[in-house]
Structure 1
Amino acid sequence: MPEQFPLIEVPLDAPEADEDLGTKEKFWFRHHDLGRCLFKKARPNTGEDWAEKIAAELCELLGLPHADYELAVYNDENGIISPSFLPSQKGGILTLGNEVLARIVSNYPQDSKDLSQHTIDNVFNAIGDASVNLPIDWTPPERISYATETFVGYLLLDAWIGNSDRHHENWAFISLQEKIYLAPTYDHASCLGRNEPDSKRKSRLTTKDAGFSVQAYVEKCNSALYARVGDKKTLKTFNAFCEAQQRHPDAARVWLNNLARVSSNDTLELFECIPSNRISQTAIEFAQKILELNQTKLLDTLV
Structure 2
Amino acid sequence: MMKVEMVTRKGRRGCLLKNFVKENRADMNSEGGALLANLVEYEELQESSLINNDLIDAGFRMIQHFKYWELIKSDFINMQIFDILIGNQDRHPYNWMLLFFNDGDVKFSPIYDNGASLGWRFTDEKLMTMVTDPAMNKYTKNTKLKAGLFERKSVKGKDLLVYINKHFPEECERSIQNLITFDMEEYSQFINSLNILSQAQMKWLLHIIPFRKRKILEWLGREEEQ
- TM-score after normalising by structure 2: 0.79
Structure 1, unaligned runs of 5 or more: 1-65, 133-146
Deviations, residues 193-235 of structure 1 (Å, cap 9, x unaligned)? 132112112222234xx4xx222222221101399x9xx9521
Which residue does 2:140 correspond to in 1?
218
Between Structure 1 and Structure 2, how many residues are aligned? 212
Of 80, 90, 95 in structure 2, the residue corresponding to residue 170 of structure 1 is 95
Any conservation in 1 of the 2:26–2:99 contact (CA below 8 Å)?
no
Distance, in Å, in 1 between the alignment partners of 2:153 and 2:23 is: 40
Secondary structure (helix, strand or coil) at the match of 1:297 reads helix
Query: Would you say the 8 A contact 2:8–2:14 is kept in 1?
Result: yes
Contact in 2 for aligned 1:160/1:295 (Cα 8 Å): yes
Q: Which residue of 1 aligns with 2:200?
A: 282
CA distance in structure 2 between the partners assigned to 1:171 and 1:127 by the alignment: 16
Distance 2:193 2:40 in 1: 44
* Structure 2 unaligned residues grouped into runs of 5+: none
Residue by residue over 1:152-203, the C-alpha shift from the partner in whole angstroms, topping out at 9 and shown as x without a partner, is 1111101111111111111111122133221121111111113211211222
Q: Answer yes or no: is 1:154 the counterpart of 2:79.
A: yes
User: Does the C-alpha gap of structure 1 residues 172 and 128 become closer, same or farther in structure 2, counting only changes over 3 Å?
Assistant: same
SS at match of 2:66: helix
Greater fraction helix: 2
Alignment partner, residue 107 of structure 2 = 181
Paired AA for residue 257 in structure 1: Q
| Larger displacement relative to structure 2 (251-260 or 66-75) | 66-75
Tell me if the contact between 1:67 and 1:186 (Cα under 8 Å) persists in the aligned partners.
Answer: yes
> Quick one: distance in 1 between partners of 2:199 and 2:10?
26
**Partner of residue 251, structure 1:** 171
Alignment of 1:230-241 (within 5 A): 233-241=153-161
Shift in CA distance, 96/156, structure 1 to aligned 2, threshold 3 Å: same
Alignment of 1:19-168 (within 5 A): 66-87=1-22, 92-106=27-41, 108=43, 119-126=59-66, 128-130=68-70, 132=71, 147-168=72-93
SS across alignment from 2:107: strand
1:25-74 CA-partner distances (Å, limit 9, x unpaired) = xxxxxxxxxxxxxxxxxxxxxxxxxxxxxxxxxxxxxxxxx111111234
- The yes-or-no answer on 1:293 pairing with 2:200 is no
Three-state SS of the structure 2 residue aligned to 1:194 is: coil
Give distance in 2, aligned partners of 1:127 and 1:244: 20
How far apart are the structure 1 equivalents of 2:217 and 2:8? 38
Q: Which amino acid aligns with 1:148?
A: K
Relative distance call for 1:274 and 1:127 in structure 2 (3 A) is: farther
Distance 1:198 1:74 in 2: 22
Identity of aligned residues (%): 17
8 Å Cα contact 2:145-2:155 kept in structure 1:
yes
Please tell me the residue identity of whatever aligns with 1:162.
Answer: G
Matched residues in 2 for 1:90 and 1:292: separation? Answer: 36
Which amino acid is 1:120 matched to? F
Q: Does the CA-based 8 Å contact 2:87-2:117 persist in structure 1? A: yes
RMSD over aligned CA atoms reads 3.0
SS of corresponding position for 1:73: strand
